[in-house]
Amino acid sequence: MAAPYDILIIGGGPGGYVAAIRSAQLGFKTAVVEREHLGGICLNWGCIPTKALLRTAEIYHYAEHAKDYGLKLEGKISYDPSAVVKRSRAVSGQLNGGVGFLMKKNKIDVIWGEATITKPGEVSVGKSKKQPMQPQHPQPKGTLGEGTYQAKHIIIASGARPRVLPGIEPDGKLIWTYFEAMVPPEFPKSLIVMGSGAIGIEFASFFRTMGCEVTVVELLPQILPVEDAEIAALARKRFEKQGIKIHTGTKVTKVEKGANEVTCTLEDGKGKTSTLKAERVISAVGVVGNTENLGLEKLGVKIDRGVIVIDEVGRTNVPGIYAIGDVAGPPMLAHKAEHEGTICVEAIKGLHPHAMDKLMIPGCTYCQPQVASVGLTEAKAKEQGLQLKIGRFPFIGNGKAIALGEPDGLVKTIFDAKTGKLLGAHMVGAEVTELIQGFVIAMNLETTEEDLMNSVFPHPTLSEMMHESVLDAYGKVIHT
């Protein structure tokens, strides 16, 4: 039996490895149990490699529209699907190796295998039952593997996996999850995407830009369901202008597989059915936390609707056991998991960290156009009975946006009319995923409308639209 650890973390994704590094910084003897790849889904199959794919699509888009910028590219613009995928995997591999380096640098033990909590303070690690997707990154050679390990504190950071609809199980060939969509041997000519959350829309945007005929099917009345309705509607118009077909208020009731195509049966909210054929289907109907096979039921750890129940610093109802990240509930975002990991470890140390306010967690979708938001939507703010002041500023009124050739988009800000408190900010357009953090910081600092109006924004920048949107909320907008 190995010497006891102060903190042992199950899962080496963004939440797990960040918690491990902060733990080591605070002087704890620390270990991470990982069954597949350091960096988790985010670095290996999610956030990072998808952004590499989307960057390729962005460059391809600009190459096809070079004449709009006064440039001439001779000959037909084309791409090599295998090279596109290879670049994405190389980006992922570089960061995966970087996490391994950080573990070594901070003297964190990496234990390879699958963990089960046998009792508070004890974890049994067995051979992983997980079959890694191909292509995969090699696991760093480690000295630790199967065995029993002791730890004063155990943090569960086991992440999530794609949700599967009954009767529409992905087969890896005709029906894909994000795993298969990330590494296709060739790009399909036609594609149906089930679900219009961030994952579904990002893949729809990527494959459409690369020339695929794309149809998105969403059960709810609007695409990007968590976003402000006005922003989602503007994004939809842009997607449809690009040629993406969108069905909202519609569900896929059946998928029939042929030799090299699928036939989906669709049903709208009025009971009307239709069929749609495509070469491939991507199932992007959400994710579900990995709570199974950890020994939680036996230990009596409380789970509610597939989510481990925690308090404001990650403690479960069983002393010495904690949970962070996707397995601890929405929003299922890497940056939320990282921050939760830091809070959890600092609480164990007795540093009394601030509890996380989930309303101040930004959400970003890296489609074309990008979508980003933080705080309350207009509908949610009205549900709370608040009196609002709402500002809007269009990209067409911004010099930098026009110079970039990106004049379509909107910045929207929502304030409490009584107090001037910034309640929410919502954006659609070029580079808004980089802009949103300005409003996140403003909300964390409890900035009022007066503070924002008195701030000087550099010219010419896209950020000036943030200023103008605030001015518009109070009848002081300049450039419209």
Handedness of CA 50, 52, 54, 60 (dihedral sign): negative
| 426 catalytically annotated | no
Under 8 Å between Cβ of 340 and 347:
no
One of 65, 339, 459, 467 is an active-site residue; which one?
A: 459
Report the C-alpha gap between 373 and 378 in whole angstroms.
12
Amino acid found at 155: I
Structure tokens that stand for 453 in this block: 């109006």
Report the C-alpha gap between 326 and 11 in whole angstroms.
11
Structure tokens that stand for 126 in this block: 């067995």
Report the C-alpha gap between 220 and 249 in whole angstroms.
5
User: Which of these, 58, 92, 60, 141, lies nearest to 433 by C-alpha position?
Assistant: 58
Distances (CA, A) of 237 to 65, 223, 392: 20, 11, 18
> 246: Cβ–Cβ under 8 A, 6 or more apart, which residues?
196, 215, 216, 218, 223, 236, 239, 240
How would DSSP label each residue in 204-270?
Answer: HHHHHHTT-EEEEE-SSSSSSTTS-HHHHHHHHHHHHHTT-EEE-SEEEEEEEE-SS-EEEEEEETT
Handedness of CA 59, 63, 65, 67 (dihedral sign): positive
Report the C-alpha gap between 4 and 464 in whole angstroms.
54
Under 8 Å between Cβ of 314 and 328:
yes
Long-range interactions of 133-141: CB distance < 8 A, separation 24+: 133/45, 133/179, 133/183, 134/183, 135/89, 135/183, 136/36, 136/37, 136/44, 137/37, 137/44, 137/92, 137/93, 137/96, 137/97, 139/37, 139/38, 139/112, 140/38, 140/97, 140/100, 140/103, 140/110
Active site residues: 459
